[in-house]
Structure 1
Amino acid sequence: MIQRIPGVPKPLEKENPTSYADSPFADDIALVEIPKRFTVPHMKQYDRLSDPQEHIAQYKQRMFTVPIPREYREPCMCKGFGSTLIGPALQWFVGSANGSISMFADLVDTFNLQFANSRQFEKTTSDLYKVYQKYREPLRDYLTRFNREKVTITNCDIPTAIEAFRIGLEKDSPLYDELTKYLCKTMDDVQAKAMAQIRLEEHKREDDDKYYRPNRKITSIRNKDYKNDNKPYARTIRDEQHVNSSQIRPYWRRDPNLPPTFDSYGFSITLTVLVKEFAKLGDVVKWPAKTNKPKSNPDSKLWCEFHSDYGHKAIDCVALRREIEALVKKGYLTEYISSHRSNHVRTEKTPANLPLPPPHHKVINFIAGGSEMCEKTYSQAKRRARGKGIQVAHAEVVI
């Protein structure tokens, strides 16, 4: 009754206590004890998507490399085949009727019949006409693809393959004209002419690259940090002078003319609380003008409390830093500044009363050493004096 209800899954059935002995093989195979040292060779497991005949051939070749006695070879090949299956193929193997397989040939026939839809049909020589040279494709790449398809064809007809290779070439290719005028009888002749044309094309390409080298140093003046024009209040640097296209302007945060940062003041409150304190000052604070533009990217984490909008963080807001600098100069917000203030804060201090330096009465200039002491040039006199430990210098004495 439950199975008749639409949309309800089939209830789980209880496992039979003797299900551990279930096997799709007959007793002649199921009752044979496998040698202790027997292990199935490692290979790619079959999941019904690839060719079943190719899987059987690979399984046979792997099993031939395992040392198995002759009387145990067929039972071992039958019992080890299930470990090479996965997914729907394994479910089919487990769900087979008990005792339905009596030999390995029956297993292969049933396996190929079950997964016949995944079988890959044998290619013919006429399939090579589907391989053609693409637009501006190098001849070497086309030759590689053609040879890769040709190898998969058994009993390939050589004249048909040569004709398919010629037709697949571009019509303006010199090799197409060469193969049309002088017919080839073997693929070796076609390969030789194709390699000669490939060497010629690659040589010309190397010469073109040698004499034509584009300037790769030319980059865009705008950096990725300046691609924020769609964000409100995004800062960009516009240099009025001529800027060389090979040089990128420095990052805007490193501009020395910017106002001091919030951390340089040594405030005892956070930046969010400081913005709330601006509301108590009233018209003293120059609040930014409100815009009618919709809020950009509401899901972004870049929120500015001073502008009350998305686009950048308050710690990076240049307008907020300028307003803090102006209020500190006017004497506001001083109660929130700690005693240990940074040197970046622009404050005016009266210099201490220091004693004046003594006045200059007379200046006497003299020369120690030189050309007069050894009648040589000044440089030679320095080398001579350096060897004897004499100091040659120009001095000025202030009295």
Structure 2
Amino acid sequence: MTLAPYKGIGDSKVHVTKFESMMFLNSNSDPILCRSFPTFLDGAALLWFSNMPAGSITSFDEFAKMFINHFAASKIYVRDSDYLSTIKQGPHESLKDYMTRFTTAAIEIPDLNPEVQLHAIKSGLRPGKFQEAIAVAKPKTLKEFRDKAIGQIEIEELHETRRNEKPTSRREEERPYKSQNRDLKKPFKMDLKFDSYTRFNTRREDIIKEIFHNKLIKPPSRASTYQDQRYVDKTKHCAFHKKFGHTTDECVVVKDTLERLARQGLLDKYIGR
């Protein structure tokens, strides 16, 4: 005969009766009974025993009477196997959490029939693939059911890990792209090559157009793209690069090109009054 530890839930008198039946051969030895009984206590019951003052136990009969009286009220909280049928897996509850909750309740039910427990835990599964798999497999014991459940729990935990590794929202995914776009909206700047620049008596745009017309220099074969063209200012145009985004007078390349030609003496007519 085996005796489950008493945890403070259930009929304390029944627990004492079962203990005495198990210890029948030592029923006349108070020291053995008093030392053995606490080994069949757990949880709140073991805590109660641990808090008893030293020397307060004079005989097992007195010890048993104190025990029964202390946990007498626990008898009214005892649940039977019918209670298990009320435990259902929640819509978003993991299988692991459901089985933990179900098993905790089942432990508190004395003399629970394993077949009743198996039927209740299967009935409490929410509709889905695992419930369908159990209906097909038809596990005949709690061990067979738990073996199936362990595989499903591992799958659920794997999916949860993968979800946690993904970006939490699409907004966060787009954030780097938007930050890049904000940078693209900023005007492109180049460093000037000369410390000082010649003052011309003609607009740089007109000088560039005449230079191209006279073939003094060749137009750039292909204008470099300094920024995303979706964000350029279409009200500004560069005659040198032949594209929008900045004016000819603002263009650093134009300034450097004209300054180089001026220092070579090729733009004297645009210098002075």
TM-score normalised to the size of structure 1? 0.28
TM-score normalised to the size of structure 2? 0.39
